[in-house]
């Protein structure tokens, strides 16, 4: 009887975020990061898969063009053997079909320059924008218009906290890494903003060496904790841990555990986390004081995501930039991104074993600490611009 009641309440909660449960391949019609700008040099060809879309990029005269990475003739992928014979096109290495970079139209065939199908066949193109040292691609329906702004799909400037940098600030120092994680993208999103997963960080090098004790977790302390954040430029987010809306839990009597209050330690009053559509996390005051980190969990396919970590710091001059670079190389990257966050990757991949069956999303026994995850699911269900379907074999 008890079990039945529980099942029903789980089902009711899950109905409130039904679209999210369908988003195994991510949400379509959003901007996603694809590369750091410096990863694609002039004339270089790069391939990326986002939410099941195989995309090839070429940079010509500084500008980037994105096309479907599949030849209309017999399906060869351009990126498998890049061939470009002028500045306006990309040529398939197999039989020489040559497509315009900006419109994807078949312009010529190497061995059949008068062929009647020239001009009548095309492959799709993708909008590409390059800002703040990063390359973003708009992934989804080819005819989706109007194109939303790039800003609307990134964590916003947190105007009430002007000391913190914004991704597209002119004088921002930004540096980071990205790598592939073997879990569904939602397990990335739901790891970053999870207020009680701090448990997995307790053995972290920095935590142990500094003698600081992490709380046992965080619980919501105000109704604001689960509210949507809607920003003027269209960004939609929800709070993860922050010190206005959450309180640290320092004791568990059943287990006889209590965490000593820190005498001194890193400033944590401005440390706060928020999640943003379609797949980003903003962490203010990490990996150092007055830094921010943006993480993205970009769906690749149904079982992998590209995990991005980008550190941001406002710099007034060249000296600031040098200091920021040194901090990033000696602390931010090795101790923050690599050491501290390593266990997050392990956790996501471990959970993937369970969520391999996508039906498991929505079946969880959520508790009070999961409000950030539940709110995120509701937000994503409400503000997505479409659910990405699994690619048909013929489309890939
Ligand atoms: S498969 Fe590309 S030209 Fe034949
Ligand atoms: Fe974490």
Task: Give the CATH number for residue 98.
Answer: 2.20.25.10
Domain identity same for 364 and 286: yes
Q: What does the pLDDT read at residue 15? A: 84
What pLDDT, in 10s, does the model give residues 57-96? Answer: 999 999 999 999 999 999 999 999 999 999 999 999 999 9
Backbone angles phi, psi at 32, to 5 degrees: -130, 145
Mean pLDDT over 9-30 rounds to 88
Number of neighbouring beta carbons within 10 Å of residue 236: 20
Structure tokens at 390: 């699994």
Same domain? For 217 and 102 the reply is: no
pLDDT tier at 208, thresholds 50, 70, 90: confident
Q: Which residues neighbour 248 within 8 Å (Cβ) at sequence distance 6 or greater?
A: 215, 216, 217, 218
Residue 2's pLDDT band (cuts 50, 70, 90):
very low
Q: Residue 140 in contact with residue 28, Cβ under 8 Å?
A: yes
Residue-averaged pLDDT of the chain:
92
- Report the percentage of the chain scoring pLDDT > 70: 93
Inform me whether the pLDDT recorded for 206 exceeds 80: no
The total number of residues written for the chain in this structure: 396
pLDDT of residue 3: 45
Q: What is the pLDDT of residue 9?
A: 66
Q: What is the dihedral of CA 67, 296, 238, 154, to 10 degrees?
A: -50
Is the domain of 266 the same as that of 377? yes
Nearest residue CA, atom 4 of ligand 1? 95
Domain shared by 109 and 159, yes or no: no
* Model pLDDT for residues 108-155, shown as the tens digit of each residue: 999 999 999 999 999 999 999 999 999 999 999 999 999 999 999 999
Cα(1) to ligand 2 centroid in Å equals: 37
Measured by CA distance, the residue closest to atom 1 of ligand 1 is 74
Instruction: Please work out whether the CB of residue 63 comes within 6 Å of at least one atom of ligand 1.
Output: no
Q: Is residue 148 part of a domain?
A: no
Instruction: Decide if 252 is inside a domain.
Output: yes
| Termini Cα distance of the chain | 48
Q: Which phi and psi angles does 322 have, rounded to 5°?
A: -65, -45
- Whether 394 is covered by a domain: the verdict is no
Confidence class of residue 214 from pLDDT cuts 50, 70 and 90?
confident
> CA 275, CA 361: separation in Å to the nearest integer?
18
| Å from CA of 116 to ligand 2 middle | 57
For the chain, give the percent of residues with pLDDT over 90: 81
How many domains is the chain partitioned into structurally? 2
Count Cβ atoms below 10 Å from residue 126 Cβ, excluding itself: 22
User: Is residue 304 scored above 50 in pLDDT?
Assistant: yes
| 310 in a structural domain | yes
Sequence-ordered list of residues with C-beta below 8 angstroms from that of 368, at least 6 positions apart, any chain = 219, 220
Name the least confident of 7-21, 162-176, 276-290: 7-21
Q: What is d(CA 23, CA 389) in angstroms, rounded to the nearest whole number?
A: 8
Q: How far is the CA of 193 from the centre of ligand 1 (A)?
A: 45
Pocket test for ligand 1, best of 79, 92, 104, 108 (most atoms within 8 A of CB): 92
My answer on whether 341 and 231 are in the same domain is yes
- Residue 8 has a pLDDT of 66
Helices (H) and strands (E) counted in the chain, each on its own, are 7, 21
Angle at 167 between CA 189 and CA 322, to 5 degrees: 115
**Residue 77 Cβ < 6 Å to ligand 1:** no
pLDDT band at 36 (very low <50, low <70, confident <90, very high): very high
Is 179 within the bounds of a domain? yes
pLDDT of residue 1: 39
Measure 280 CA to ligand 2 centroid, in angstroms.
14
Tokens standing for 54?
Answer: 């195989």
Q: How many other CB atoms are there within 10 angstroms of residue 123's CB atom?
A: 21
Let me know if residue 336 belongs to a domain: yes
Please check the confidence at residue 160 and state whether its pLDDT lies above 70: no
Structural domain that includes position 116: 41-129
More confident residue, 381 or 271: 381
Q: Give the residue from 82, 97, 129 where a domain finishes.
A: 129
pLDDT tops 80 at residue 288: yes
pLDDT in tens, 318-375: 999 999 999 999 999 999 999 999 999 999 999 999 999 999 999 999 999 999 999 9
Check pocket membership of 271 for ligand 1, CB cut-off 6 A. Answer: no
> CA-to-CA distance for 32 and 135, rounded, in angstroms?
9
Q: Report which listed range, 8-12, 117-121, 221-225, 264-268, is most confident.
A: 117-121
Same domain, yes or no, for 121 and 178?
no
3-state secondary structure of 231: coil
The pLDDT, as a whole number, for residue 13 is 72
In ligand 1, the atom with minimum distance to the C-alpha of 74 is: 1
| CA separation, residue 145 to residues 49, 141, 277 (Å) | 22, 9, 18
- Lowest mean pLDDT segment, chosen from 23-32, 152-161, 184-193, 304-313: 152-161
For residue 316, give the CATH number of its domain: 3.90.380.10
For the record, the structure tokens of 239 come out as 């709070």
Is the domain of 260 the same as that of 378? Answer: yes
Residues 111 and 178 in one domain: no
pLDDT at res. 104: 98
Q: What is the pLDDT of residue 164?
A: 82
Has residue 162 got a pLDDT over 80? no
Å from CA of 43 to ligand 1 middle: 21
Look up the pTM and report it.
0.94
In a domain? residue 170:
yes
């Amino acid at each position: 009887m008890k079990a039945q009641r529980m099942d029903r309440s789980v089902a009711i909660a899950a109905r409130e975020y039904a679209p999210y449960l369908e988003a195994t391949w991510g949400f379509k019609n959003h901007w996603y990061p694809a590369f750091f700008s410096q990863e694609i040099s002039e004339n270089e060809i790069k391939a990326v898969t986002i939410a099941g879309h195989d995309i090839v990029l070429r940079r010509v005269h500084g500008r980037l063009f994105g096309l479907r990475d599949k030849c209309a003739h017999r399906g060869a992928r351009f990126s498998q053997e890049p061939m470009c014979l002028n500045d306006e096109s990309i040529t398939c290495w197999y039989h020489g079909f040559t497509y315009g970079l900006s419109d994807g139209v078949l312009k010529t065939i190497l061995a059949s320059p008068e062929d009647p199908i020239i001009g009548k066949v095309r492959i799709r193109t993708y909008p590409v924008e390059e800002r703040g040292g990063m390359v973003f691609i708009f992934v989804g329906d080819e005819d989706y218009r109007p194109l939303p702004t790039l800003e609307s799909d990134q964590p916003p400037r947190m105007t009430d906290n002007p000391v913190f940098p914004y991704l597209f600030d002119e004088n921002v120092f930004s540096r980071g890494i990205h790598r592939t994680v073997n879990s569904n993208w939602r397990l990335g999103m739901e790891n970053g903003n999870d207020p009680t997963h701090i448990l997995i960080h307790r053995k972290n090098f920095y935590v142990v060496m500094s003698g600081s004790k992490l709380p046992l977790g965080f619980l919501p302390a105000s109704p604001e904790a689960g509210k949507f954040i809607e920003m003027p430029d269209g960004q939609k987010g929800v709070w993860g841990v922050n010190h206005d809306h959450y309180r640290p839990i320092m004791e568990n009597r059943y287990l006889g555990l209590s965490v000593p209050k820190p005498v001194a330690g890193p400033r944590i009053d401005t440390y706060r986390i928020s999640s943003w559509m379609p797949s980003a996390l903003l962490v203010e005051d990490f990996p150092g004081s007055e830094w921010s980190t943006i993480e993205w969990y970009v769906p690749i396919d149904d079982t992998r995501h590209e995990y991005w970590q980008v550190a941001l710091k406002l710099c007034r001059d060249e000296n600031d930039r040098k200091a920021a670079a040194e901090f990033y190389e000696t602390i931010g990257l090795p101790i923050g991104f690599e050491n501290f966050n390593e266990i997050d990757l392990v956790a996501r991949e471990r959970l993937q074993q369970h969520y391999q069956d996508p039906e498991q999303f929505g079946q969880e026994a959520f508790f009070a600490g999961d409000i950030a995850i539940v709110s995120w699911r509701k937000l994503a269900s409400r503000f997505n611009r479409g659910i990405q379907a699994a690619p048909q074999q013929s489309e890939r």
